[in-house]
Structure 1
Amino acid sequence: MTQDLEAERMLLLVDGSSYLYRAYHAMPDLRGPNGEPTGALYGITSMLRRLRQQYPPDKGYVHAACVFDAKGPTFRNALYDQYKAHRPPMPEDLAAQVEPIREVVRLMGWPLLVVPGVEADDVIATLAARASARGMRTLVSTGDKDLAQLVDAHVTLVNTMTNETLDEAGVLAKFGVPPQRIVDYLCLIGDTADNVPGVPKVGPKTAVKWLQQYGSLQGIVEHAADIGGAVGQNLRDTVEWLPRARDLITVRADCDLDGHAGDLDRDLHAAPEDQQALAPLFGRYGLKRFLHELPAQAAGAAPTAGLEAPGEADPPPQPLPPGEYETVLTLERLQHWIGLIGQAELTALDTETDSLDPMHARLVGISLAVRPGQAAYIPLAHAYPACPQQLPVSQVLELLRPWLVDPARPKLGQNSKYDRHVLQNAGIVVQGYVHDTLLQSYVLEAHKPHALDSLISRHLGRSDTLSYEQVCGKGAKAIGFDQVDLETATRYSGEDSDLCLQVHQRLWPRIEADEGLARIYALELRVSEVLQRMERVGVLIDAAALRAQSGQIGARMVELEQRAYELAGGPFNLGSPRQIGEVLFGRLQLPVQKKTSGGAASTDEEVLEKLAEDYPLPRVILDHRGLSKLRSTYTEKLPLMVDSGTGRVHTNYAQAVAVTGRLASNDPNLQNIPVRTAEGRRIREAFVAPPGWRIASSDYSQIELRIMAHLSQDEGLLRAFAAGEDIHRATAAEIFGVLPAEVSSDQRRMAKVINFGLIYGMSAFGLARNLGLERDAAQVYIGRYFARYPGVAVYMERTREQATSQGYVSTVFGRRLWLPEINSPNGPRRAAAQRAAINAPMQGTAADLIKMAMIDVEQALLREGLRARMVMQVHDELVLEVPDEELDWVREQVPALMAGVAQLSVPLVAELGTGPNWEAAH
């Protein structure tokens, strides 16, 4: 009986040292009201709270501990004086958070263990061994691969940052060896985190191969003479070191913990949170979310002013309990729900399908939520053994159609653009989407994840919802949603619509209260509808032309290969970075520019571009790479992506990806077709108009420079644009001290690089490299630029200060562009964020303008009853398909519409060209 009771009691151990650094590096540079760093504190508090929700005492986890490394050496330092010797000192901002973290851990009810002279891993191993001896199971929360050696029938690992759980089968699947061979595996590959060398040149694949072949490290050592090649010699040279490596890597399960955790029941019993003590602590460090999660009587005692750290969202109230969801299987219940949604102020609508491809996804079911906790799932196409009878799809859709197509019936979705596609596949053009939680999250927190599960966790505090993988599985064993049983499908889909509605109730008031955010959100909602229609139309592709181009590119690649062999003195694989490195830095002895993380000489594009300035072979390799990418990405792939039903390519425009507000095209990506090479430009020739139609391309002229003039209010820039001057010529005249008519083409080119380089935060070093100048000369040009345009310098400094103080910058129209690294203690990250702060308002405002233009152009086309339609949006450019008889109207009106979407301090200018294909329209 005692053994049975013990088996019901479980031990939950947290590897605090593993999470300390990971939380510090994963979180943005959050600061409390007094300027103290709080990122790691926030991250670990969040992780521990989530862990306690998932594994509470009432589910058996009555024993628990959070374990940290103590300062000072351990027995491993005596074994090997270079143990962890390469680790830099703990960053000051992290060190400042260690004591607050430990205090929060204690107050949250976690027994805290810091044992002098014993590493956290060894403490965990010892406690797990004691629990196993009592027949108890142990769950270890860690991100440390070393602890995989502890896994057995009683011990499991969980990584809360990746949601990965490792039991014995999981360890084998992840590492290729069972837990009892992890020490052998690590001895072979080494442990770089702790500076424990392994066998040189032996990586995971070789280690697994040897262990499978010889059974154990001892077996490998016994057969060392049989292993050939350089790696075999490396093994033989390392044999004497391996026993010490084993001592260093093996965690100790027999440590003396007296005075710290001598008794599981006495020392490791999870306690309730001390909420009265936590409240002032959360208040002091600005952890507003956690403060608001405390009961009102506890939180009320804490100070409330200035609690919000940069980038931290307003916290949600306590989450509602899980709802009860109905499976609709009868006409009577369907009619009941049609009555509910007909009277609801707002209905959350979600579709379940058999595909992620919006153009071909087929409805499997629909869920509806009319208030928190009240949702229904209408199954339509589930098909598994013993599946209950469902209402006919046609009947359900016809009964729902009046509500779906009624713009006066307010609807809410999460990525409603996808759901509109799905329902249009079924013959229904939905109207009345007035809210979208994906876009709400994007407008509020563009720098954070926007998937529904992330929003539920972040804003509702829920971590118990079903994931798609839990419902359908993954990999080869995955099933379609139509194979999911109705009970599970109802809970999963009901949660989607119900919690979407709850997320909306948290996010919408925050948007509504801010005029700028409300304006941007309204813009994104309208753009979503335009994009859905544009995706539906697609763009016509000349697949035969692409296939012909593919053959020509292949022939050119062969020529480049032969040229590369001549320059290298022999053949090599131009697709192999290793062989390229051997040729460039071994055979030809070219100077190494930088190294990879593994210590090899890098052959990335930046290195090859630098070498190509002085040597011919790197340029040939770069040209070959460019053609290879062009062929694999476009000339070979695009013809395969032509929809058999429409004869067109239908890209997906993702709104909630780029923090600047720009759209992202994918499947296929039509925005990154290179135009600097003749081969790249020819790709655009395959984007064609049907007979009797033309392609029209209209784009903004120098849009970001015009926005810079507006934002900076620099008199020189304002004057040049107002006069309609060539801005690059005007800049060259200012910098080089000549009349505009005397500016040479080379001077104008340099001025163009300076104009665009500076708004992207380019340094004197970067400018010198781009212009082929000495750094001092580039600095002189920058100095002259700012002397002629002082307003630009003032704007840049003001913007950096605003970004540093508030954590974001804004576009002209109110879009917030978050910069999580703007106060980072990491110098390069902070500098990159400062550069982004300068450019983001310009790029973001340009994104706002083109979105406004899309709406106005489409509305004008519909108002005039024209057949012309937009087929692509590429950065600052709109691409239309226009019947010949409507060309005159489009030529005159579209540029005017684009120029008239907003009034800035300088005129907006759009230019339009037409032709039989996209390239010819430029």
Structure 2
Amino acid sequence: MGGDCLKVIRYPLRGQPIRINVAETKRDLRAFYEFVKANPVMGLDTETTGLDWWNAGYGFRCRLVQFGNASEAWVIPVELGPPFVDAVKWALDKAELLAAHNRGFDIHVLEECFAISAEMLIRKTFCTKLLAHLVDSRARKEGGTGLKLEELVPHYICAEMGEKVKKSMTEIARRYKVKKADIWPIVELFDDEFLLYAGMDPVFAFRLRQILHPKVPARSKQQGLIGWEHRLHWVTYQMERTGYLVDEEYVRRRIDELTEEEHHWKAVAAEYGVDSIGSNAQLVEVFTALGFKLTKRTKPSTNHPQGQLAMDESVLTGIDHPLSEAVLKAKAAQKKRTTWFEAALNNRDSNGRVHATINSCQARSARMTVSGAIAAQTLPAGTGYVRHSFLAEEDHVTVTIDFSSMELMFLAADSGDRRMLQAYKRGEDLHDITATQAFGPIPEGEAHHPKRKAGKGTNYTVCFGGGWRAVSGQWGITEGDAKRAVKGFWEAYPATRRLANACSAEARKHGYIYTVTGRRILTDPKRPYAAMNYRIQSSCRDITARAVIKLHEAGFTPWMRLVIHDEIVFSFPKGRARDLGEEAARIMEFTYKGLLIPADAEIGERSWGSVLDKEDSKH
């Protein structure tokens, strides 16, 4: 404690003392005001009762708001009421520049809990997660720095101390004898360890911005990628806030069906002596008694230095017995129920909407992902089964717009391959062309080549960086046909081979490639052949990102619901759906090196799933 009775926590960070000031009373705020006046650039963070910001007023609340520079932070307990909330509002308005990690969450919190203008905050807040992605987009498992704060702090700031502070909430939860997920609403507001954890976050955010901004490649800066990613994030932020209506009746029916299915298969498993399908020990014991030889083991651990006999999906799939079938089907029903339907039902706000997280810059290629209440990346393809859970507004219909064969068309334009470009400009079937090159002419009287599936599988697989093994395994093509088809692809489109070689050479020489938008993608030394795939995937992502930004500029944001790879889902007024769909598609289409990459709209009924249920659906 300082002599003026202000609560102060001091923490050494690489030999430099960090001072964390805690405003416990209105009188303490005087010094906070002086701090803000002297620091026009600050780090920003919030501490809340959970992640469900949309439930503010219904259990969710913001407890602390923190500001900081490289060596000093202020913790403001907004949970104590208006004087502290007013101080935060004043500070946010006064600040010229802010840095926050994963800024979307903090801005959602401040807008929802305190009616602070999100647009004002977005304009002045750098997201250090976006900066980190522009420096190194690889996940930790890919050899990169990762994008989470607990990954970046040890790498860029201080390995030992950074990791210690970020893990402190786990220790606090143990002290309170609760799980980490349950500690946030119950930890005492002025718990010293909690205040240390909270106070260090804005210091980390401030320092990360200082460290990362200079590390963003000059080419990326010259081509405006920092502003580009922040503008895109503002659009996806608004989509998150709008949310997506849930069809409660439909969702409850699916939950009941899957619960019944799960119970049925659990009962079958119980007949063989398995009371808990999640118990490795029970499954190993029963299958061993049934005469099955089990060899696969889990990873070694402290308690099991040699690992344990495994009972994962790959093991169960390889066992031909009614018990393995029952366990697999019971687990599948349980996973569908919890991941798809209960996640939607349990995460609704008071208006019946879910607010999924749209990660606007996520994969190594920067591909957007959707997580949370709508696990978009896991939804089954070609069916509206899960998508029927989500509804357009009343008197609206769902319209989806996506790019047709974007990756292949981009490859054609980027490589300049004459045969591929000719096919697109003449409206020829590229899959038939590949099959013809590999297997000979289309038989007389046939509309398509009998080996067209091999041609199609090869076109897409090569575009995604795969070889003949991937063609065979993913498309059900025989090994011989897969080899011939891949050989035929490179022969039919020789310029694509030259592009692939150029990308691989760039990756070998530098350890990275640049995309057409100036994005640097670090590559794997042992996989230089994947460089062309990264170039294609990342550039196509940026075509989609451009479309999102252009749609926003044209006033379409209130109608946009989700972005999933190269598709955007809209809720349009029923009477205007066709006109708006055509206009949005025109905005989205993009010409690259003289080749038009078109966007096509499909109009459904009210549910998202209705688009996929149409007889002529492209999905």
TM-score, structure 2 normalization: 0.78
Partner of 2:108, secondary structure, is helix
CA contact (8 A) 2:400 2:611 kept: yes
Q: For 2:344 and 2:440, how far apart are their aligned partners in 1?
A: 50
Cα drift, residue 716 of structure 1: 1.9
Alpha-carbon offset, residue 588 of structure 1 = 10
- Tell me which residue corresponds to 1:394: 82
Residue 438 of structure 1, aligned match among 105, 126, 129? 129
Over residues 105-156 of structure 1, what are the superposed CA-to-partner deviations in whole Å (9 max), with x where a residue is unaligned? xxxxxxxxxxxxxxxxxxxxxxxxxxxxxxxxxxxxxxxxxxxxxxxxxxxx
Q: Deviation at 1:857? A: 1.6
1:671 aligns with 2:358: no
**1-structure distance, mates of 2:430, 2:221:** 30
Using the TM superposition, give the Cα deviation of residue 585 of structure 1 relative to its aligned residue in structure 2, in angstroms.
10
Spell out the pairing of 1:642-681 with structure 2 (5 A cutoff).
Answer: 642-643=348-349, 645-655=350-360, 657-676=362-381, 681=384
Q: Distance in 1 between matches of 2:506 and 2:225?
A: 20
Given the alignment, which residue of 771, 774, 795 partners 2:499?
A: 795
Partner residue of 2:313 out of 590, 604, 609: 604
Q: SS in structure 1 opposite 2:555?
A: helix
Cα deviation digits, residues 266-309 of structure 1 (max 9, x gap): xxxxxxxxxxxxxxxxxxxxxxxxxxxxxxxxxxxxxxxxxxxx
Specify the alignment match of 1:425 in structure 2.
112
What amino acid is aligned across from residue 111 of structure 2 in structure 1? Q
* Pairing 1:747–2:455 present: no
Larger Rg: 1
Change (3 A) 1:677 1:888: closer
Where in structure 1 are there 5+ consecutive unaligned residues?
1-52, 55-317, 382-391, 824-829
How many residue pairs align between the two structures?
568
Equivalence for 1:911 = 600
Residues in 2 aligned to 1:570 and 1:496: alpha-carbon distance in whole angstroms? 52
Aligned-partner Cα distance in 1 for 2:67–2:493: 57
| 1:444 CA drift (Å) | 0.6
Q: Residues 210-239 of structure 1: CA distance to partner in whole angstroms, max 9, x if unpaired?
A: xxxxxxxxxxxxxxxxxxxxxxxxxxxxxx
Report what 2:46 is aligned to.
351
Decide whether the 8 Å contact of 2:26 with 2:83 is kept in 1. no
Over 3 Å counting, the alpha-carbon distance change for 1:588 and 1:738 in structure 2 is farther
Gaps of 5+ in 2: 1-10, 139-144, 299-306, 613-619
Pairing partner for 1:473 from 165, 172, 180: 172
What is the match of residue 440 of structure 2? Answer: 737
Alpha-carbon displacement from aligned partner over 1:158-213 (angstroms, at most 9, x marks no partner): xxxxxxxxxxxxxxxxxxxxxxxxxxxxxxxxxxxxxxxxxxxxxxxxxxxxxxxx
Instruction: Tell whether the 8 Å contact from 1:414 to 1:452 is kept in structure 2 after alignment.
Output: yes
Partner of 1:378: 76
Give, in whole Å, the separation in 2 of the partners of 1:869 and 1:585. 56
- 1:355-412 deviations in whole A, cap 9, x for unaligned? 233334422222223x53243222232xxxxxxxxxx632343454366358x93222
Do the aligned partners of residues 775 and 585 (structure 1) sit closer, same or farther apart at CA in structure 2, a change above 3 Å counting? farther
Structure 1 match to 2:569: 879
Cα distance in 2, alignment partners of residues 330 and 574 from structure 1: 53
Query: Which residue in the other structure is 1:415 paired with?
Result: 102
Measure, in 1, the Cα distance between the counterparts of 2:400 and 2:385.
16
Partner of 1:690: 393
Q: CA deviation at 1:483?
A: 0.9
Conservation of the 8 A alpha-carbon contact between 1:895 and 1:911: yes
Post-superposition offset of 1:654: 3.4
Tell me the amino acid that sits aligned with residue 373 of structure 1.
S
3-state SS of the aligned residue for 2:63? strand
Tell me how far apart the structure 1 counterparts of residues 184 and 316 of structure 2 sit (CA, whole Å): 46
Q: Cα distance, 1:485 vs. partner?
A: 2.5
RMSD: 4.1
Q: What's the counterpart of residue 155 of structure 2? A: 458
Q: Using the alignment, how far apart are the partners of 2:246 and 2:511 within structure 1?
A: 44
Letter in 2 for 1:520: L
Q: CA deviation at 1:656?
A: 5.9
The one-character-per-residue Cα deviations of 1:486-506 (angstroms, maximum 9, x if unpaired) are: 765555444322332222112
Change over 3 Å in CA distance of 1:880–1:518 after alignment to 2: same
Q: Secondary structure at the match of 2:377?
A: coil
1:704 equivalent among 407, 419, 422: 407
Aligned to 1:632: 338
> Would the alpha carbon gap of residues 462 and 570 (structure 1) be closer, same or farther in structure 2, given more than 3 Å must change?
closer
Alpha-carbon distance between aligned partners in 2 of 1:521 and 1:813, rounded to the nearest angstrom: 12
**Higher RCO (Cα < 8 Å, 6 or more apart):** 2
SS at match of 1:639: helix
Q: 1:397 to 1:549 in 2, by over 3 A?
A: same
Output the CA distance in 2 between the equivalents of 1:788 and 1:585: 53
Structure 2 equivalent of residue 869 of structure 1: 559
1:741-774 CA distance string (max 9 Å, x none): 8443753322211111222333333433445554
Query: Residue 718 of structure 1 aligns with which residue?
Result: 421
Is the Cα contact below 8 Å between 2:504 and 2:532 reproduced in 1?
yes
Match for 2:54: what amino acid? M
Q: Which residue of 2 aligns with 1:143?
A: none
Query: Counterpart in 1 of 2:141?
Result: none
- TM-score, normalised via structure 1 length: 0.54
Equivalent residues of 1:700, 1:909 under 8 A apart: yes
Residue 521 (structure 2) aligned to one of 798, 817, 840: 817
Deviation digits for residues 397-435 of structure 1 (CA, Å, limit 9, x no counterpart):
3454366358x9322212111110110122212323341
Cα drift, residue 856 of structure 1: 1.9
Distance change >3 Å, CA 871–CA 490, structure 1 → 2: same
What SS does the corresponding residue of 1:521 show, helix, strand or coil? helix
2:172–2:193 contact (8 Å) kept in structure 1:
no
1:847 lines up with 2:552 in the alignment? no
Secondary structure at 2:386 match in 1: helix
1:596: how far off?
4.8
Paired position in structure 1 for 2:469: 765
Matched residue, 1:804: 508
Provide the rounded CA distance (Å) in 1 between the counterparts of 2:20 and 2:342: 47
Are residues 411 and 904 of structure 1, via their aligned partners in 2, closer, same or farther at CA, if it must alter by over 3 Å? Answer: farther
Show the counterpart of 2:204. Answer: 499
Counterpart AA for 1:639: L
Alpha carbons 2:46, 2:63 under 8 Å: kept: yes
1:393 aligned partner, one-letter code: G
How does 1:196-207 map onto structure 2 within 5 Å?
none
> Residues 172 and 194 of structure 2 are in contact (CA less than 8 Å); yes or no, is this contact kept in structure 1?
no
Deviations 1:430-468 (A, max 9, x none): 323341222211221222133334433322336435625
SS at structure 1 position matched to 2:597? coil
Give the SS at the match of 1:347. Answer: strand
Which residue identity does 2:597 align to in structure 1? L
For the Cα contact (< 8 Å) 1:808–1:817, is it kept in 2?
A: yes
Partners of 1:599 and 1:766 in 2: CA distance: 31
Correspondence for 1:896 among 571, 578, 586? 586
SS at match of 1:326: strand
Q: 2:592, 2:30 → 1: CA distance?
A: 50
Displacement of 1:578 in angstroms is 8.6
Cα distance in 1 between the residues matched to 2:31 and 2:201: 21
Confirm or deny that 1:362 pairs with 2:68: no
Cα-to-partner distance string for 1:797-855 (whole Å, 9 max, x where unaligned): 33233223322333321223333xx33xxxxxx3xx44643422222222222222222
Amino acid aligned to 1:411: L
